[in-house]
Amino acid sequence: MTAWTNDVSQAPYNLSVNYTSSNSGQGRYEFTQGTVDYAVSDTGYVSSSVGTTPPTFPYEFLPITAAGVAFMYNIPGLTQALQLTSYTACLLLTGQISNWDDPALKANGANASVTLPNLAVKPVTESDPAGTNFVLEEYCIDEQPAVWAQYAKNEQGFPPPSGVPISPTVPGSNWEAPANGLDESSTSAVASNIVNTSGAIGPVQVNYANDSGFTGSNPAQGVAAVQNASGKFTTPTPVDVASALAYATQLANGTHQLNFNGLGPNVYNPSTYSYLLTPTKGWSSAKGETMSNFVNYVLTLGQQAAPKRGYASLGLSLERYGIDQVIANVPGAVDPTTAESAAYSCGDLTPTEVQAGQTTPTCGVTNGTAPPPPPGAATVATVNGNTAAGKATTAGTTASASSHASGSSGSGSGGEGGGVDPSVALTGTTSMASTGSNPFPLVVIGVLLIAAGWIGRRRLQQQRRTRGPA
């Protein structure tokens, strides 16, 4: 978001955008209260210490980023990158593995050729209502329900600082640190604590690990590879995130139901989306035009730059979905420019392609409903305004919002419009769609009727010439 807001501050956009990140729950809360013009959240309105109540005004969720939740670790002496399964990842972060030499970390072929040290585990988690927490809770409940249920049981009788009890079956945005863990109030603080704590591990977006120098060059300080449903150990690269999200299903409000069990050699989980929350009706045209200009950039040229920053490109279906929703529902919205229209992704990675190990989408193949023709070019208006999560200004009105950049799970409430289904691949070899049965027989019949009519007409003309005028 910071990079995108910097991009649109320059020509030809010249938008005045101020951005300050906080957390998803706070962003949703301020959006509902009307103290911000819009927000960015990794989730819908879910169980959280704040940000649980949707606004009464009409609004939409628009997917804008896709990323994996990375398990950043600091294990001195480790000679090969750490490998985790969903079982060990959930055990570690809930305090149920307390030492790095625990035999469970050697199960399922993980860490087979590495010696894990006799060193205390220090899980570092985020206490504020972060979307990262929700996705990780959803992952553990879905993949390791018994592990999560035990953690929830362990936390009973201890009033959590957030005031939100840990549910054994329902994910939420607040994570309570286990007895051997450390609590931090932001993702950057989680990453910083891991850097400075021997034996630490914690969930962050991969760019936080990279910015901290945990790039993989030193196996003792890196990001864990996680075993997927095909038995492969993968890391949260843009390709592996995009492969995982090919299996997500978009819900009616624009958020997604994640599927952590997609097959394919390049699938990384947990992976998820982040969403921009925008009002629809009731906005001034000036604010709507600013929002539209920003969304047009973010979902075209901005997506092309996303992999360089550690994020996956959304793909054609979701890029078109977001822009079309804004054009249809936000007052003052404008069409993408010629440059933006040319910058759409060429297609989507489909489950079939992911299972085959394909790493780039087949152009023209999309997940879900075929997108409409590209909108016509439009001149980008110069409007002072905001379009970001965090604190911002739109058309002179102060706004604040909150965001982590990891993505979102598939629950939430409110919003408008249907969506596309990333689990359904459209295939075909022609550029023109048809409905019903195969049109070829109809074409043949039509040609035969035309030929018969032409022959009949010739015979009538011959008969008239033979009889002469009446």
pLDDT in tens, 445-468: 444 555 555 555 555 455 444 444
Q: How far apart are CA 311 and CA 354, in angstroms?
A: 18
What pLDDT sits at residue 391?
29
Query: Do 62 and 116 lie in a common domain?
Result: yes
Contact yes or no for 386/393 (Cβ under 8 A): yes
> Residue 459: which domain range?
434-470
Is residue 180 in a domain? yes
Domain boundary at 382, 399, 416, which? 399
Residue type, 47: S
Query: Do 270 and 345 lie in a common domain?
Result: yes
What pLDDT sits at residue 296?
96
Is residue 404 in a domain? no
Assigned token pair, 126: 């985020």
Is residue 410 in a domain? no
Handedness of CA 186, 181, 212, 83 (dihedral sign): negative
Query: Do 91 and 163 lie in a common domain?
Result: yes
Q: Where are the alpha helices (DSSP H) in 15-112?
A: 24-33, 86-93
Closest-CA residue to 136 (of 162, 165, 100, 175): 175
pLDDT in tens, 326-347: 999 999 999 999 999 999 999 9
Reported as a pLDDT band with limits 50, 70 and 90, residue 36 is confident
Is residue 236 in a domain? yes
Does residue 25 or residue 61 have the better pLDDT? 61
Query: Do 346 and 454 lie in a common domain?
Result: no
Q: What element of type H or E holds 72?
A: strand 59-74
What's the average model confidence in pLDDT over 407-433? 27
Query: Do 447 and 388 lie in a common domain?
Result: no
What pLDDT sits at residue 128?
75
Question: What's the whole-number average pLDDT of the chain?
Answer: 78
Contact yes or no for 180/123 (Cβ under 8 A): yes
What pLDDT sits at residue 121?
98
Is residue 420 in a domain? no
What pLDDT sits at residue 167?
87
Is residue 366 in a domain? yes
Query: Do 439 and 385 lie in a common domain?
Result: no
Highest average pLDDT, of 48-62, 143-157, 291-305, comes from 291-305
Residue 242 has pLDDT above 80, yes or no: yes
Residue 403 has pLDDT above 80, yes or no: no
Query: Do 118 and 263 lie in a common domain?
Result: yes
Q: Is the pTM of this model over 0.85?
A: no
Is residue 417 in a domain? no
Number of other residues whose CB lies within 10 A of the CB of residue 153: 11
155-185 per-residue burial string, b: 16 or more CB within 10 A, e: under 16: beeeeeebebbbebeebbbbbbbbeebbbbe
Domain boundary at 399, 422, 454, which? 399
Residue 205 has pLDDT above 60, yes or no: yes
Is residue 465 in a domain? yes
The percentage of the chain sitting over the pLDDT mark of 90, rounded to a whole number, equals 52
3-6 long-range contacts, Cβ below 8 Å, gap at least 24? 3/305, 3/309, 4/294, 4/297, 4/298, 4/302, 4/388, 5/387, 5/388, 5/392
Does residue 41 or residue 124 have the better pLDDT? 124
Contact yes or no for 188/35 (Cβ under 8 A): no
Place of tokens 């890391």: 235
Instruction: Tell me how many domains the chain contains.
Output: 2
Q: How far apart are CA 29 and CA 200, in angstroms?
A: 32
What pLDDT sits at residue 382?
27
Query: Do 441 and 384 lie in a common domain?
Result: no
Query: Do 291 and 222 lie in a common domain?
Result: yes
Residue 427 has pLDDT above 90, yes or no: no
Query: Do 77 and 142 lie in a common domain?
Result: yes
